[in-house]
Amino acid sequence: METSAGCLRDTSVVVVTLDSGEVYIIASLSTRADTQVIYIDPTTGALRYSAKHGYDVFKTQNEALDYITNGSKWLCKSVTHARAILGYAALGSYAVLLVATRLIASIPNLPGGGCVYTVTESQWIKVSLQNPQPQSKTENKNIQELTDLDIDGKHYFCETRDITRPFPSRTPLRIPDDEFVWNKWFSTPFRNIGLPQHCVTLLQGYAECRNFGSVGKQEGLVALTARRSRLHPGTRYLARGLNSCYSTGNEVECEQLVWVPKKGGQSVPFNTYIWRRGTIPIWWGAELKLTAAEAEIYVSDRDPYKGSAEYYQRLTERYDARNLDVAVSGSQKKSALVPIVCVNLLRNAEGKSESILVQHFEESLNYIRSIGKLPYTRIHLINYDWHASVKLKGEQQTIEGLWYLLKAPTVSIGISEGDYLSSRERINNCKGEIICNDDYVGAFCLRSHQNGVVRFNCADSLDRTNAASFFGALQVFMEQCRRLSISLDSDLAYGYQSPANYTGYIAPLPPGWEKRSDAVTKKTYFIDHNTRTTTWDHPCPDKPWKRFDMTFEEFKRSTILSPVSILADLFLTAGDIHATLYTGSKAMHSQILSIFNEEAGKFKQFSAAQNMKITLQRRYKNAVVDSSRQKQLEIFLGLRLFKHFPSAMIHPLHVPSRPSGCFLKPVPSMFSSSDGGASLLSFKRKDLIWVSAQAADVVELFIYLGEPCHVCQLLLTIAHGADDTTFPSAVDVRTGRCLDGLKLVLEGASIPQCANGTNILIPLTGPVSAEDMAITGAGARAQETSSPSMLYDFEELEGELDFLTRVVALTFYPAVAGRGPMTLGEVEILGVSLPWRSIFSHEDSGVKFYECINSRRKDTNNFRSGSGSNPFSTAMTNDKGMPSCQLESSANSFIDFLTGEVRLSDSSSQLVAETVVHEGNDLLDFLDDTFTPPVSDSNKDSSISFSEGSSDSGSQQYIRSFKVLAGPHWQERRLDFMEAMKLEIERLRLNLSAAERDRALLSIGIDPASINPNMLLEDSYMGRLYWVASTLALLGQISVEDKITASIGHEIADENYVDFWNISAIGERCQGGACQVRVETGPTAGSSFSMASDSTFVCFDCGRRVCKVCSAGKGALLLATSNLKEVSGYNGITGQGGSDASSNRLATIDGIICKECCHEVVLDALILDYVRVLISLRRRTRTDDAAEKALNNLIGLSSKNLILERDHFLNNKGNAKVLAKLTNGEDSLAEFPVASFLHPVETAPGSAPLLSLVSPLKYGSQDSYWRAPANVSSVEFAIVLGDLSDVSGVVLLVSPCGYSMSDAPTVQIWASNTINKEERSCTGKWDVRSMITSSSELCGPEKSFKDKVPRHIKFAFRNPVRCRIIWITLRIQRLGSNSVNIDRDFNLLSLDENPFAELNRRASFGGQIDSDPCIHAKRVLVAGRSVRTEIGASPQGSDQINVRNWLERAPQLNRFKVPVEAERLIDNSLVLEQFLSPVSPQLAGFRLDGFSTIKPRVNHSPSRDVIGDPTSCLLEDRLISPALLHIQVCALQESHNMVTVAEYRLPEVKPGTPMYFDFPRQINTRRVTFRLLGDIAAFSDDPSEQDDSELRAHPWAAGLSLANKIKLYYYADPYELGKWASLSAV
């Protein structure tokens, strides 16, 4: 389908928005022949694409359009036509899609093909998503600001080849250099659905190409490309100098490509020159003073050159051609070094503000030389005060001076030269480096390479830089032309030489010389009038780089100027674009670029005014919009998303309940036209009001999910709910892999009465075991109602995670039992599915998935084989954290998500920050050596039992640790906060759940609540701790994000990492020695501790030597050096100029801070953060376990390494063909993940799992197959198909062992639309034994299945049957069990001549059961066509009227507000107490308005393994253990006791949504209290409304306050109350 090189057509993208609000992206790429349809899920914004023909793959765009709109255009609300997709993101309430609507082919045809398009018009399409997940106003504002980002004219892309690297790129299109990809993050959703090419690789900057020629005709083409680096994005005043990603502000790589176009088939000669521009690579900035004319320049006083070396290192790696150089003409000698020549154009005169930068620039290079980090780089600095020179000597001499300085470096760096060979057959003739890949037909032959780079800078890298780089590049351009035999010498213009007979370049003549041509031979000769001699030879033969030696006037006189002005033109535009990107206005002082232009003088006058105007413009932009532009860029690049979109999901959830989800049992309705309830699952009927059958006491929905997933949320749309009791008031949720054995997930969750159309979201966990529930569950919570868990969820209940969940059963209960039918609206199930499609095709995320699983297995195996000691005992010491195999593995190898490369990383590359390690010792070694837990001896003993899955040893170890901590009097002594936290670390290290911990503690008579750290601190201190920990978490996130960005373009990893938390182990103490701090002293728990080394560090603050135990983690220094106020603004109040620059800054500061200099609250915050990280890792490990389990259930725990089968898989491109043969060209309808089994089927031990029967054709091990246990003589497979389908037959793939007479089954097949067996119809019965008699091929082991259709049996139906479920029964006849049949069957054959007699031994092939035949099969395929189901056909007219009538008849509720005499808020407004008058009516319930809080994603610093790929997690923490709120209502009763009336689990709704909760019964009371319970700490305020006072007494969100949120009501008849009643409606 995909073609290499050449395009078939122009890319066309159509974005269709239907009336229902659904959005489809229809893309027909230039590189493909077909059309893809991508659906944006209207609830979550997840992109959906299934690669199914006729469903989302079509032959043409029109066919796709017809399908989506059902052939009727009027279904469309809007249609946008575009030329390319630039990006997409779902950000909570909105999704944004960016498309390019108009393009210019700015470089239409690069040598070797490929068109560079500049986006001249783009469009943001904002899709409003219909989910109730609360999102802050600030987030919505940020989305709006993102869509204001200026794209047009400043971005470009190429669809067919990589242009992020110097031309010609050695790397294919799909692996761009991330330094220059601006939509890397923004294009992720397309990569995740397996369509990486559907979103182009977008570069920022300038790309343009022009023809030029010497004699008025085209001779050459020049293309100027400027790629802006994204490593230090941002605007002037906010992004200058270095950042912590080792990049400078306004950093641009420029490329000047010159080539001679040729007609088809000929080689295309070309050459290129690259240079860099950017601000000075040291830490500096400029502060804008409102009064001063110029900004004040400052250089960081601490480590101003930190990262400078890394900056040059990155340049060195990119422009290092030492090993590539192919000496061709001998003109370039192989160089040993990579020169980097910095041309610094700053003012350097005494008193000029810029001169401080010049000094530091020089100093920084001295520093780099002194540390000797860059042995192969030679950095030259050329200071050239451009402004002073222009003022003093004028423009012309300034240019001459520049040429003088540039000559030597330019010549030695050289240019790259080569040819594009249109056919690879010519490669043999190439002397040089050959570059070829799939992106073009031919190959490049590079004869010479540029080695090193010239780098220009002024203060902002704008105006002076642009001018100087033009005059530098102009010289190179002249040389580039000369080498391509394009003469730009002006004397040629007057000659009569035809281009055909000149052989290369002819230099201008010295004064007194004349050129003539021989009248007869036409050969040129030269006359020297000075000496009166003639010669055939040119007096000064062609000299490379000769114009460097000319004066300005000489240059001008000897050169054809039209190409020069063409080049100047390109530079002028490029300069404007860079200036606009950086400052928001055009370039100034650019008239000098027109100096060769005759009319330059006129231009000059005009430009003075122009400059003035631009200066003012820039000032305005800087002061007003820079900060918001900075934010736009960050969002566009996907940076600091935890700050800009704290509540948004990393990956939006899937909605597997549609479109191919269905009800397994029809839902009875009151009205006949209802479609069995199917429309309840359809988004197209969002406004649906569905009425249950009259008699129903409960309504049960059995939902079959379109794909298996872990179910996370239930989303209900209230239909007709606010004012009557017809909407259900509670729901139970059960889930499972099939219809049998559904597990209860949620019981009696209350559904408030809400207005029609309200979306309410009910978060779900996996099913929690009853045992755990009893020990840590609701009961435990009730006891500590007075103090919510502020720090972390000490009692976390862990539900089972299952990615194969297929059936969700919902039971709805009416508000008032037995009163009548219920109404329902749309029901959506939200979940997370594994990337099945890429798992099967081994694409991007699939490969990652396998690597993860494989390395987990490897580690598990090592562990089981007993090699090495208990990995857990070492796990903590180096902060590998959890004893998770996954963690270990990710340390060994992970895919670098930035480059797509698999990297081996050393296991110490765990966190973030670098440190200066004194005494030459690695801090980590030290950590490794010192921590030996006091229980280490027993660890070894118990490791075996642990590995066998017993948790006892873990519990025992835990108890031992507890006793060590609490000391000899452990029964009486209470732990303090720090001890309790260390015990929790131990618990997590031992991989115990909260319930397991509680069981262990209870077993020795300790109340778990007594070690709950949440209850061991003062309330006021807790608030402060919470706040510091949140800040720490953000700093950690920032520094890790920068670390990831910094790694782009860097081969080297940082050598030293310091631990972020540095939590000392239980009993670990300072050993004195060289340590001058000695803060952690006291009795050591055992003599086993010894200082492995005397390594000490120097405290950043007090300067004393400090040992590791007495040092605080790296995080403490981050906190100490950050401006806390600025960081606290993370939730939105950025924009105060430079805030981000400073947060960037802090990550780079080296050092250690001792515990004495560190505030206590910081130390507590560090340990809290560490516990949170461990909890998160535990969740992650559980997720990975669940993922592995799911995979095992599909293909079995194959002993083979999965990766081994990858090649096999990749080689199977004929798969589709084979499949088509098996299904006679029809669709395969019963393939996992769309299809699955309705019921479990008994499976023999050691057999391939049941699901392998429906896994994709060639997936899994070749010789494995499914078997029933030997004693089973009949099995029934109930297969649910992906869609309602017309099935034409079933294909059974024969197991590799083949059939024999004893195990060949009889097959009977039924079909139906529902699970009701009575309704199914039999489609036929077949006897396989009779088949094998006629075809011996089916018998015995399969000989070779390569390249051919595997052995199979087809069971074709007489006519296609429309159905959703297929039942297949396999039955074998057992000897003795049915002798009659056996006799009859065997009579068919002569036993003597039985050709299969010896095949009875076939079972031995399977190796499991020797004598007993069993039912077995390899695969089951169902062939047919899926039917497009038209859900949403509006009900018949009569029914519509009936529904309406019925709804109007429904009992109306009239709520009236109960007046409150007094009320007070207690416990930080989490409790509301209301006092009522004695004459108050009976209370019926209360109204609660949705809280205006969000649930931020980040509450701890990143764990180490997230560094590889922060987006790689399958399940976010928030989804595994969702934060829940409950409201508890108590009322004063007769006995003068407060009695709990009810407790309600609150669903998520949009802020301010009124929810009415009825009490279970009406109550009479004078005092009611409402208490908010649950995971209060997981919520935070809308940043824009956040109170930024640092020491707010209570850390929890003000938005959770119950003030003015609750109103009590009663029901009454309005007529009885009179007209005033309406005034007190609730």
Nearest distance from C-beta of residue 1096 to Zn ion, angstroms: 8
Min separation Cβ 1089 and Zn ion, Å: 12
- When the beta carbons of 1002 and 1074 are compared against Zn ion, the nearer one is 1074
Nearer to Zn ion, 842 or 1104 (CB): 1104
Smaller CB distance to Zn ion: residue 1111 or 1580?
1111
**Cβ atoms 272, 257 nearer than 8 A:** yes
DSSP 19: T
How far does the chain reach from its first CA to its final CA, in angstroms? 62
How many binding residues for Zn ion (CB under 5 A)?
10
CB of 1153 to Zn ion, least distance (A): 6
* CB 1163, min distance to Zn ion, A: 13
Nearest to Zn ion of 162, 1068 (CB atom):
1068
Residue closer to Zn ion (CB basis): 830 or 924 = 924
Separation of alpha carbons 690 and 681, rounded Å: 11
Give the CA dihedral 900, 904, 910, 915, nearest 10 degrees: -100
- 324-332, 635-643, 889-897, 1075-1083 -> range binding Zn ion (CB under 5 A): 1075-1083
Work out whether 1099 is an interface residue with Zn ion (CB under 5 A).
yes
Candidates 653, 1038, 1107, 1287: give the one binding Zn ion (CB under 5 A): 1107
**Does position 1315 bind Zn ion by CB under 5 A?**
no
Closest to Zn ion by CB, 392 vs 1074, is 1074
Stretch (H or E) spanning 1063? none
**901-904 and 743-750 strand pairing:** unpaired
Q: Which of 413, 1110, 1270, 1549 binds Zn ion (CB under 5 A)?
A: 1110
Question: On the CB side of 205, how many CA atoms lie within 13 Å of its CA?
Answer: 28
How is 760-814 classified by DSSP, letter by letter? EEEE--PPPPHHHHHHHSHHHHHHTTTS--SSS-TT---PPP-TTEEEEEEEEE-
Q: Smaller CB distance to Zn ion: residue 1075 or 1229?
A: 1075
Stretch that binds Zn ion, among 667-675, 1063-1071, 1362-1370, 1425-1433 (CB under 5 A): 1063-1071
Would you count residue 1070 as binding Zn ion (CB under 5 A)? yes
Residue pair 1341/1402 in contact by the 8 Å Cβ criterion = yes
Residue numbers 336-375 binding Zn ion by CB under 5 A: none
**Please, what is the minimum distance in Å from the beta carbon of residue 1150 to Zn ion?**
15
Q: Which is nearer to Zn ion, 394 or 1103 (CB)?
A: 1103
CA dist., res. 1107 & res. 1113, Å (int): 12
**Backbone φ/ψ region at 1403: left (φ over 0), alpha (ψ -120 to 50), beta:** alpha
- CA-to-CA distance for 1431 and 1003, rounded, in angstroms? 57
In terms of CB distance, is 399 or 1149 closer to Zn ion? 1149
Inter-CA distances, 1084 with 674, 956, 962, 963, 999, Å: 75, 22, 15, 14, 29
- Contact predicate 1498/642, CB 8 Å: yes
Least Å distance, CB 1067 to Zn ion, is 15
Q: How many helices (H) and strands (E) does the chain have?
A: 37, 60
Q: Is 1443 in the site for Zn ion (CB under 5 A)?
A: no
CA distance 286 to 353: 10
**Please, which of residues 1076-1095 interact with Zn ion by CB under 5 A?**
1078
Q: Is 349 strand, coil or helix?
A: coil
Q: Which stretch binds Zn ion (CB under 5 A): 749-757, 1015-1023, 1067-1075, 1459-1467?
A: 1067-1075
Report, in Å, the least distance between residue 849 CB and Zn ion.
45
Q: How far is the CB of 1116 from Zn ion (least distance, A)?
A: 10
Q: Shortest distance, CB of residue 1027 to Zn ion, whole angstroms?
A: 23
1163 binds Zn ion (CB under 5 A): no
Nearest distance from C-beta of residue 1082 to Zn ion, angstroms? 12
In angstroms, the CA 1177 to CA 739 distance is: 32
SS (H, E, C) 143-172: HHHHCCCCCCCCEEEECCCCCCCCCCCCCC
Which residue, 254 or 1117, has its beta carbon nearer to Zn ion? 1117
Smallest separation, CB 926 to Zn ion (Å): 12
Contact status: 1102 vs Zn ion (CB under 5 A): yes
From CA 8, how far away is CA 6, in angstroms rounded? 7
Which C-beta is closer to Zn ion: that of 413 or that of 1154? 1154
Residue among 1101, 1286, 1385, 1489 that touches Zn ion (CB under 5 A)? 1101
Q: Which residues contact 968 (CB under 8 A, 6 or more apart)?
A: none
Nearer to Zn ion, 960 or 1159 (CB): 1159
Distance between CA atoms of residues 908 and 894, nearest Å? 13
Report the alpha-carbon distance of residue 981 to residue 792 in Å, rounded. Answer: 11
Here's the x/- map for Zn ion, 1365-1404, by CB under 5 A: it reads as: ----------------------------------------
Given the complex with Zn ion, which of 822 and 1157 has the nearer CB atom? 1157
Minimum CB distance to Zn ion smaller for 317 or for 928:
928
By CB under 5 A, residue 923 contacts Zn ion:
no
What span, in angstroms and rounded, lies between the C-alpha atoms of 900 and 903?
Answer: 9
Among 506, 577, 1058, 1075, binds Zn ion (CB under 5 A): 1075
Supply the minimum distance, in Å, between the C-beta of residue 873 and Zn ion: 24
* Of residues 617, 451, 480, the one with CA closest to residue 544: 480
Question: What is the smallest separation between the CB atom of 1105 and Zn ion, expressed in angstroms?
Answer: 9
Window of 43-51, 849-857, 878-886, 1066-1074 that interacts with Zn ion by CB under 5 A: 1066-1074
Residues 6+ apart with CB under 8 A from 1558: 729, 753, 815, 1484, 1485
Residue 1251, SS3?
helix
Compare residues 21 and 1073 and give the one whose CB is closer to Zn ion: 1073
* Sequence letter at residue 1144: N
**Minimum separation from the CB atom of position 987 to Zn ion (A):** 27
Instruction: Name which of 415 and 1154 has its Cβ closer to Zn ion.
Output: 1154
- Owner of token pair 């397991």: 996
Cβ nearer to Zn ion, comparing 258 with 1107: 1107
Helix (H, G, I), strand (E, B) or coil at 589: coil
Complete DSSP assignment for 59-114: SSHHHHHHHHHTT-GGGEEEEEEESEEEEEEEETTEEEEEEEEEEEEEE---TTS-
Stretch that binds Zn ion, among 653-661, 1098-1106, 1234-1242, 1376-1384 (CB under 5 A): 1098-1106
CA angle 257, 258, 261 (to 5 degrees): 125
Beta carbon of residue 1073, minimum distance to Zn ion (angstroms, whole number): 8
Amino acid type, 1180: R
Q: How far is the CB of 1187 from Zn ion (least distance, A)?
A: 43
Compute the least distance from the CB of residue 750 to Zn ion, in Å: 54
**The tokens of 1308 are what?**
């009977």
Q: Please, what is the minimum distance in Å from the beta carbon of residue 1194 to Zn ion?
A: 53
Q: Map residues 1123-1162 to x or -, x wherever contact with Zn ion holds by CB under 5 A.
A: -------------------------------x--x-----
Dist CA 668 CA 665 (whole Å)? 9
- Return the number of the residue (1000 or 1154) whose C-beta is nearest Zn ion: 1154
- Specify the stretch interacting with Zn ion by CB under 5 A; choose among 156-164, 869-877, 1071-1079, 1590-1598: 1071-1079
Residues near Zn ion, by CB under 5 A: 1070, 1075, 1078, 1099, 1101-1102, 1107, 1110, 1154, 1157
